[in-house]
Amino acid sequence: MEAGAPGRRAAATAAAPGVADGWHRIGSARSCTSPDGDRTEEASIATGLKPASWAYAEDFVPEDEVLKAARARAAEVDATPIGAGGGATLRFVAALLDARNVVEIGTGCGISGVWMMRGMRSDGVLTSVDIEADHQRLAKRAFTDAGIAPQRVRLISGAALEVLPRLTAGHYDLVFCDGDKQEYPQYLEQARRLLRPGGVVAIDNSLWRDRVADSGVRDADTLAIRETLSAVADDENFISVLVPVGDGLLLAQKR
């Protein structure tokens, strides 16, 4: 989890590249005020959904008091977790995989971990890595509040690129990446090694505040995310989809 990353995409108010004059993007949609000035028409690029529908979908699976409390604690330490829609997606993927062994890069305050563990097998184990020990202490509280047995969570405090190479190759069903954006290409390489055939890598913030789609944005974080997405798209050993929940969630299954 990256401090300062948005949990939900905000409506854009300035014209975006590729959008005609008079229009502006709202999520994946465009809107334009009619000449009489008293109504706004919205045209979706692909789905036909209005922003209200995107918000409805994001919150379709509600968070319980455990997750709400963990999210409040995360806000207190300026650690922004995955949104509810992304969390529900992770739970769904973990359930589809009947996941027994999961790696999480970026423990945060435990929100994504709780979501994933609720989809995993009852004997599943989450291995979660974070450089922020204080955040992991808050994550332990979330896991306890969620009734997750301590032996089902292995928290490792340390730099991800130092920890991941020590984990067993081909052993994991799901690898979730939500750490340092500039390290995403290296996380992908480690995920390739760690996943079993049929396993899935999930990469949060894959749209990165609407910057990834804007070719004029070239900061280091955005370039690293673009590099990662391109590497997945070009790899015949992955079957992938970029899901527009939260700040974008890339899912790729290893053949």
d(CA 216, CA 197): 37
Task: Say if residues 86 and 113 touch (Cβ distance below 8 Å).
Answer: no
pLDDT of residue 34: 39
Positions of the chain with pLDDT lower than 50, given as ranges:
2-45
pLDDT of residue 49: 74
pLDDT of residue 228: 98
Q: What is the topology classification, in CATH, of domain 65-254?
A: Rossmann fold (3.40.50)
d(CA 134, CA 73): 11
CA–CA distances in Å: residue 229 to residues 104, 110, 202: 19, 25, 11
Q: Where are the alpha helices (DSSP H) in the chain?
A: 51-58, 65-76, 84-97, 111-117, 133-145, 160-163, 184-194, 220-234
Read off the tokens for 105.
């890069």
> In Å, how far from its chain's centre is CA 123?
24
- What lies within 8 Å, CB to CB, of 205 at 6+ separation is 2, 5, 178, 181, 225, 247, 248
Q: Which amino acid is at 166?
A: R
pLDDT of residue 47: 57
Q: What is the pTM of this model?
A: 0.82
CA–CA distances in Å: residue 190 to residues 62, 105, 126, 168, 221: 32, 11, 17, 11, 19
DSSP, collapsed to helix, strand or coil, labels residue 91 as helix
pLDDT of residue 62: 96
- What lies within 8 Å, CB to CB, of 80 at 6+ separation is 1, 2, 3, 4, 5, 6, 7, 74
Which residue is associated with the tokens 């692909």?
46
Q: HSE, CB side, 13 Å, CA atoms: give it for residue 4.
A: 3
Read off the tokens for 101.
């062994």
pLDDT of residue 50: 85
